[in-house]
Structure 1
Amino acid sequence: MEADVEDHRGHGGQRSGGRDEGRLGRLPVALRAPLEGRAWRELLYVLLSFPISIIGFVFAVTMLSTGVALAVTFIGIPVLALGLMACRGFGALERIRARTLLGVDVKDPHPLKPRDKGFMAWMGAVLKSGVSWRHVLYALIHMPWAIFSFVVTTVFWTYGWAMLTYPLWFWLFPLYGGQDGIQLYGDDGHRIYLDNPFEIGLTAGTGLLVTLATPWIVRALTTVDRLLVLGLLGPSRLVSRVVELESDRGVVVDTAAADLRRIERDLHDGAQARLVALAMDLGLAKEKLAEDPQAAARMVDEAHGEVKVALQELRDLARGIHPAVLTDRGLDAALSALAARCTVPVEVEVDLAARPAAAIEGIAYFTVSELLQNISKHSGAGRASVDVWKVEDRLMLQVGDDGRGGADVSAGSGLAGLAERLDAVDGILVVESPVGGPTLITAELPWRG
């Protein structure tokens, strides 16, 4: 709440609105529902749906019938294509309305991409687009539902508020209507009016119940509208999946290129430079062998030390590409080796009855490796843990520490890149790291054994 107050300084109207919402928040949910902004936005959505859906329905029917009727001539095809594009525009209006009034997070469908330039190619793309026909289907389906929702909503809202406020205006009947109150029943010999205090109070109580129930009824009705907008006006699941896979493929390609550049840099700056220096030292030792055997022996001894260092660098580089222990003995032994090299004591527990696919096993290994490096460099932790297990067809990894916390994927750190790598293989990375710790990072990968 303090952040809200700071944000609204200098804007008196918004600031008082925040106080009003705070007061409403103290009421039970059932009592505050009719007074919340969401209820009134959903009411406005239903009221606007009535005329808009009729216009959309009439246009869609007219467009379809005219286009089909003229299909025997060339004119019918362009009419149909233009009508489909108009329905797409109508769908864009509905998406904006749903986002604004219903809070539906619906993305725009992917734009048309004709293979060739020109009106004929564009027309063919429109007619072949499933998105265009789904917009037409929405216009046809939504109209009867919008009318039903409008009738139900207006009846409940008007009758609820009318009965709730009946004690305030029942006096109009005896003063101007010539009767004691609302006539509940009447025939030739008997009439019942809501005119005594008990009946007036009972009417108001009934109105209160109807008024409290109405927002939930409207919310249930608009749930169907949400489903229609998401299902018919948003991007198709197949197209969205293709776009997601293309993006994931780009991430994989970029990651592979970055790894290749890292390997090339490590070879050039490390082992290769050391081997070049070693060759020069051996050349000098060869020249001194005849004139100064002792100096040559010392140089050969130094070169021998350089060979050991170069071999260790090559082993470390090979381990960074794909460790032999992972290939030979699996995740349990490989992660235990990782834990032994970590600067923080790490407890490793691997509960796997079988081994996953080699690619998934490698991703799991390097995920834990990067997380343990982060713990060593940034966490200030005294201890850490690594748990690995299988749930149905998913491989679960969990790395925790008792450090200072504050890790955030959205901060653009190495965790963001790690999350992208996991996402490229349909994996998930979840970070729980409050400031002050502890940190618990969970990774989920497909098994693909």
Structure 2
Amino acid sequence: MNTNTKSDGGSRARGMVLTAVRGFVLAVAVLPWTVLSLVLTLVSLALIPLGLGLVTTPWALTAVRALANTRRELAREWCGVRIPAAYQPVPAGARPWTRTAVMLRDPQTWRDLRWLPVDMTAGFLTALAPAVLVLYPLEGFALALGLWRVMTDAQGGAYWYGFVPVEDQTSAFGAGALGVLLLIVAHRFTVSSLRLHFRLTRAVLAPGETELAARVRVLTETRRDAVDSSAAELRRIERDLHDGAQARLVAMGMDLGTIEMLVDKDPEKAKHLLAQARQSSAEALSELRDLVRGIHPPVLAERGLGDAVRALALRLPVATEVAVDLPGRAEAPVESAAYFAVSEVLTNAVKHSGAERVWVDLHHTDGHLRISVTDNGRGGAVIGAGSGLAGVERRLGTFDGVLAVSSPAGGPTMVTMEIPCALS
């Protein structure tokens, strides 16, 4: 029993010291980075009217996001405080001014910027508190052990430790007694004081209920669109089966019945009908394969997204280059959504852009699958109601993905798709 008590006390003491060290690192070592990030961001924003800030702002805001995400990770690992983030994805490959506009429209960006001055003031004090709680009692012990003589000589009079004026050994013992009381307080509140720092961080960085409600509304709408799309797809499959393969199979069954009656009476007619039935079966099989390919291409299931897009490019009437950098495979629904999104974008490029060449790039970075489709056509593509790109946007929205289009008049057109996912 005593052994367990000593072990528990030693663990608490080590935890208290570790918390003090962590708080000191947050207050002292991280403060310069916070100040530097704030200064660079403010300078970059001030340079936007001159044009230079349009290029530098994305880099500055990315650095601020990295700093905020590091603090979120430390809050989770050190104190179990979870700080949610609601960043809007920034399209990869977009022009700097497009990235600047996207990031400045993001409410989370402005929460990050408000957090920087808070972290430099109240955040600094709450992070430094654990170190003060642990180190200040040690000063009382040092005074009791004789340091009071050095301090009083340096001061030329009484040295104040808290509310105790230290002038002689007796008052130094009083400072030591106060240090014991403060150490008891530190033992109780050191970890809580660091947790207070992270709760302050969460209060500034976490999205509000209104934004979370808006996020839920968007997800609800995309889920409803996905359900509607699925229902429409099921109706299409049913119609294709009824009007295509099913009709051919019914006709083939009728031909076989006629052949059964004619095989003895008119062998030549029976042979002709057999050839016709064989042709019908081949056509029905081809239609079924096309239907299955439209639901989920076999090459996608067997070889993955990269090879499926390459196979798709081979069937296009324009020269298409495909670059793939995917070290693994995403989940099947994500791959399927990405494949059909690329298929729709390529179809639009062939039909409407008048392009002679198309470039497709697929890669995975920072937990996102990023796909860009670029053509050298006439440009002018927009995401509008009834357009194929609007359907692609809804398809990606089901997986919390985004679509960005850069298509000035005269071209070129660049369509960027981004889906958050992990690769196996």
TM-score by length of 2: 0.49
For the pair shown, which has the larger CA radius of gyration, 1 or 2?
A: 1
TM-score by length of 1: 0.47
